[in-house]
A and B are shown apart, each in its own frame.
Chain A
Amino acid sequence: MRDPYEVLGLKHGATEEEVKKAYRTLSRKYHPDANINNPDKDKALEKFKEVQAAYKSIMDGNTGGSANSYGDFGGFGGFGASAEAWRRARNEGGGTSREESRLAAAQNFIMNGMFAEALRTLNDIDDRNGRWYYLSAVANMGSGNQATAMEHIDRAIAMEPDNYEYKQMKSKLQGGSDWYVSRGTGYGMPDMNSGDMCMNTCCNMLLCSAISPCC
C-alpha cells in the first residue's frame, strides 16, 4: 500500500484535523454516487477505496487501534510474546489436557480479533485458573464489556500475583483511558482538578505512578 499520508495529499505529521479535512474532500470527490456519469468511474472507485484505506490506517494509529483491537495489543507487543511462550510451553510439556487446548483455542480467537468466539470457548471451560480470567478479561474488553474485563483481570492478578503479563494487561486497560484523559485536559475535563479523586483511584492501580499522568 502507498504511504497513507501521500494518498491523502498530506505531509507526515499533518494534524488530525488536516487528515479529516483531506479525507472528506477526497471521499466526496471519488464517491461512486458522485461519479455515476464519469467515464473513468472504475478508476474513481479504486481511488475511493484507496483513500478510505489510507484514512483508516492513519486513524487507527492515532487512537491506538480500534476499540476492539485488544487482541493485537496495539503496539505493546505483549500478547505476541506471550503467545510464543505459550506455544513453547505446549511443545515442551508434550501432551496437553483438554482444558489447555481449549484455552489455546480461545487465545487464538483473541489474536484474530474474534472475541465472541473466544468468549464462547472460554465459557465451556470449568476449571477457571488465573490464565482463564486473564484471557476472559482480554476477550471481554474486545467485546466492549468493560466491567467484566476489569473484574476478571483483577481476579487473574489475585490468583497469580507475580504474573507480569496480567499486570501489563491491567495497565493496558488503564492506558486506554489515559489516552482519553490526556485529550480531555484541553476541554476542561472536571476530573483534572480533583486531586483527591485521583489519589483514590491510584491506590487501586498497579504500576500507577508509572503510567498515570495525573499523579
Chain B
Amino acid sequence: MFGYVTINKPEMKVKDFERYRMYYCGLCQSLRKRYGMTGQISLTYDSTFAAVLLTALYEPDTSDCVCRCMVHPMSRKNYLRNSAIDYMADMNILLSYYKCLDDWEDDRNLVKLSYSGVIRNKVKKTAKTYRHKAVVIRKKIRELSSYEKVRNTNIDVLAGCFGDIMREIFAVSPNELKGKSEADSNIYKEDWSEKLGEFGFYLGKFIYILDAYDDIKEDVTKDKFNPFTDKYKSMQIEQFKGYVRQLLMLVAADMAKAYEKLPIVEEVSILRNVIYSGIWTRFFDDSKAVGKEQTV
C-alpha cells in the first residue's frame, strides 16, 4: 500500500495518538514474529488504519504487551495483540509480495525480486490460508498493470481495480478472524464483511487517485504513464487541482457513508480523524503541492 491513509496528528488527542501508536507497534511486532525482519519493513500506515477498524468493529480479545523495538532500542514500548492485527499483517505481506512480483515482471527491478524471494516460503503458507483472497489480489494487481500498460486512462477502471483489491482485504468476517486465535470467544459475531468491503473499495479508489495525483509532475516529466496526464496538460494547474479535489471528495463521501453504516463504538475518534481528515494530509500538503513550481 502507499501510506496515504494517515492520521491528522495535530488534530488528534494525545491519548488517541498513543493508542494509534500501540496498533502500529502491534502490527510491526506481528509482522516480525510471523515474517521476520524482512516482513517488518513492509509495514505501512494504511494497514495500521485497517487494523484499528477491524478491531473496533469485531472487538477481538486484545492484550497489552511490552517490547523493545529496533527503532527505539532504549525505551520500552506498549503494543497491542489481537487476531485483527495478525490478519492485517498477513494481508500487508500478501499485497507487498504480489506487488513486488508484478514490479519485477514489469521493470526487472532486482531489489524487488530479491525482497519477494526472501519471504516467499512464508507467503506461500499465508496464501494457502487465505486462498481466495490471495487469488483475487494477485489477479487484480495483474489486471491493473495490464491496463496501465495499454495506457487506459479511465480513472474509474484503474482506481476501481485497486479498489477491488482493497475490497478483498477489508471484506473479512468474524469467523475468518476467529480462526486465527482460540481465545476470541467474545468476538462480535455479526458478519459485516460486505459493508467492510464496500468501504475498502472506496478507500482503494481514493488511494489510487491520490497516488496518481501525487506522481503526476514526475510522470509527465519522465514520460511515464499516468491516467491524469491529458487532464494535467490541458488544464490550468488550479483547475486541475480543483478537478482532482472534487473527484476525491465524491469518493471520500461514499467511503464515509459506508463507514458510518458500521456499528462501531470503539476507537471512533481515531477512525474519524483518518476518514474525515488524515487521508487529506498529502493532498493539502503545500510543500509537495503539484502546482508548486509553476506558481512560483
Q: Please report A residues at the B interface, Cβ cutoff 8 Å.
A: 16-17, 20-21, 23-24, 27-28, 31, 33-34, 55-56, 59-60, 62-64, 66-67, 140-141, 144-150, 173-174, 176-177, 179-181, 183-184, 186-191, 194, 196-197, 200-201, 203-204
Given the known interface contacts A67-B258, A187-B8, the answer about A147 and B155 at a Cβ–Cβ threshold of 8 Å is: yes
- A63 & B257 in contact (Cβ 8 Å cutoff): yes
Residue from B8, B10, B261 in contact with A63 in the complex, judged by beta carbons closer than 8 Å: B261
Q: Provide the bound-state CA to CA distance between A196 and B239, in Å.
A: 12
B152 beta carbon closer than 8 Å to chain A: no
Given A63-B257, A180-B253, A187-B11, verify A20-B277 contact (CB < 8 Å). Answer: no
Question: Which residues of A are found within 8 Å of B8, using beta-carbon distances?
Answer: 187-188, 190
When chains A and B are docked, how far (Å) is the Cα of A111 from the Cα of B138? 36
Complex Cα spacing A197 to B245, Å: 9
| Contacting residues of chain B (238-279) with chain A, CB-CB under 8 angstroms | 238-239, 241-243, 245-247, 249-254, 256-258, 260-261, 263-265, 268, 272-273, 276-277
Q: Is B39 an interface residue (CB 8 A)?
A: no
Give Cα A59 to B10, complex, Å: 30
Residue of B nearest to A63 (CB): B257
List residues of B whose CB falls within 8 A of some A CB: 8, 10-11, 154-156, 159-160, 163, 188-190, 198, 201-202, 205, 238-239, 241-243, 245-247, 249-254, 256-258, 260-261, 263-265, 268, 272-273, 276-277, 280-281, 283-284
Give the dominant DSSP class at B's interface: helix
Please report the C-alpha to C-alpha distance between residue A140 and residue B154 in the assembled complex, in whole angstroms: 13
A194 to B284, CA, bound (A): 9
Are the C-beta atoms of A146 and B276 separated by less than 8 Å? no
- The answer to whether B277 and A188 touch across the interface, beta carbons within 8 angstroms, is yes
Contacts of B264 in A (CB 8 A): 20
Chain A residues closer than 8 Å to B205, beta-carbon distance: 144, 146
Question: Which residues from chain A contact B281 at a C-beta distance below 8 Å?
Answer: 190
CB distance A190 to B239 under 8 Å?
A: no
Given A145-B160, A188-B8, A190-B277, does the pair A177, B253 have CB atoms closer than 8 Å? yes
A27, B160: Cβ atoms under 8 Å? no
Shortest distance between the CB of A93 and any CB in chain B (Å): 34
How far, in whole Å, are A16 and B256 apart by their CA atoms in the complex?
Answer: 14
Q: Report if A147-B280 is in contact (Cβ < 8 Å); known contacts: A176-B253, A190-B8.
A: no
Q: How far is the CA of A16 from the CA of B268 in the complex (A)?
A: 12
- Indicate if the CB atoms of B188 and A28 lie closer than 8 Å: yes
**Residue of B with least CB distance to A23:** B263
Q: Give Cα A181 to B280, complex, Å.
A: 12
A147 x B239 contact (CB < 8 A): no
Give bound CA distance, A140 to B159, whole Å.
Answer: 14
